Amino acid sequence: MVTKACAKDLALPLEKSASGERRGEGNLWQRRYWEHAIRDERDFVHHCEYIHSNPVKHGLVKNPRDWAYSSVHRYLRE
């Protein structure tokens, strides 16, 4: 639902891998996810930085602050 509702705003690429097509996957969410319990404050910061850097890593923006949908804005205010 999110992928279909936000695809235009997020300018998602239309192409998918052949395996993704076979599985009926979209192009927003990763195929597998992993669960991780946050161990401490340092671990929390590490994961936030990872999440905030993803739009940069994938070439969507040059700076995490440029990603309008990011929690980095709230994170920096606090």
Judge whether 71 and 52 are in contact, CB under 8 Å. yes
Active site residue 50: no
For residue 67, give both structure tokens.
Answer: 């990603």
Q: What's the Rg (C-alpha) of the chain?
A: 15
For residue 54, give both structure tokens.
Answer: 């993803």
| Catalytic center residues | 69
